Amino acid sequence: MNIGPYELPNNVFVAPMAGVTDRPYRRLCKSLGAGYAVSEMAASNPQLWASEKTSRRLNHDGENAPVAVQLAGADPRMLAEAARYNVDRGALIIDINMGCPAKKVCNVACGSALLKDVAMVARILDAVVKAVQVPVTLKFRTGWDLSNRNAVEVARLAEASGIAALTLHGRTRACGYVGGAEYETIRAVKQAVRIPVVANGDIDSPEKARFVLTETGADAVMIGRAAQGRPWIFREVTHFLATGAHLPPPLVAEVRSLLLDHLNDHYHFYGDAGARTARKHIIWYTKALVGGRQFCERMNTIDGCADQAQAVDQFFAEIGERSERLVYSPTLH
């Protein structure tokens, strides 16, 4: 699959997730088979560009191309300026967020709240596409609520505006992450436009990825929550799509090494705050493993980076003494 001039290595992508898909996580997912990764949602307000949070979200040092930055906002001129700002700093693709359902985003008319105002959607897309010479993509939802689905209308408008590719999460803003994804709506969008369409929502296994690609006709799939604590899902899915066969579960020794490397990169990226921000990743990796619940309770009491990494190392060393491969608790996995 291509986005503009950029040929991607495969069609299995990692979804941008606020507070999750930072540079260390994106690099990890790409190393494990993700064909494409977009940054966390960054504010378009120029008053926030110099803040530590936004500066870190826009840090792509050492990341494999193409570097893609996702922007959130509700002002066409401000979004256009933010797009130029990021392209000047190395962004090769700009992604516009019209999919985030979070109240704090929608309450300021950003994210999926924009789907209530199609005229504003048009102005934003037109302004950003005209502002930069790189591909601009759009991530959006099927509509505001179940009575107001307008994904096909927005998709056609986006194509006419010069958007290079679409990612559609198969739920409305009102649905949040509840209920099944609307793959029929993704299929309708794919049939309505000629630009690439990426299907997002509830893709949590190789079989589900194949089903969604077949059911929707989409050009690619995007995996979000299912990759939390399981970043090797990208190689599992790409292998299955290519061969029809499953890879064996990862070795304990490999996961131990992956997580420790991830933590080292994370600590280097965040400094002293890294122990706090790494907790969620550690819990995602370990909570469903045998003994994981007790370990997670202890993890929440550890503050220092070195002590945290040592506890993780010891936990996986103990698992490795019992089994060569990961063993999940039957009640949690």
Q: How far apart are CA 234 and CA 191, in angstroms?
A: 26
Q: How far apart are CA 59 and CA 54, in angstroms?
A: 9
Q: What is the DSSP string of 74-88?
A: S-HHHHHHHHHHHHH
Q: Which residues pair with 168 in a beta bridge?
A: 140, 199
Spatial neighbors of 161 by CB under 8 A, at least 6 apart, are 122, 125, 126, 129
Residue 120 burial by CB count (10 A; 0-12/13-18/19+): exposed, middle or buried?
middle
- Token pair, residue 77, equals 């001129």
**Chain centroid offset of residue 312 CA:** 25
Closest CA to 24 of 244, 271, 308, 254: 271
**Chain centroid offset of residue 60 CA:** 15
Q: How far apart are CA 141 and CA 178, in angstroms?
A: 13
Inter-axis angle of helices 151-161 and 118-131, nearest 10: 30
* CB atoms inside a 10 Å sphere around CB 27: 20
Q: Say how many CA atoms lie within 13 Å of 190 toward its Cβ.
A: 25
3-class DSSP state of 232: coil
Q: Of the listed 100, 110, 296, 305, which one is catalytic? A: 100
**Is 110 noted as a catalytic residue in this protein?**
no
> Is residue 14 a contact partner of residue 234, using CB atoms and an 8 Å limit?
yes
Starting at the edge strand that comes first in sequence, how are the strands of the sheet with 165-169 ordered? 12-14, 220-223, 197-200, 165-169, 136-141, 93-98, 68-72, 38-43
Residues known to be catalytic: 100
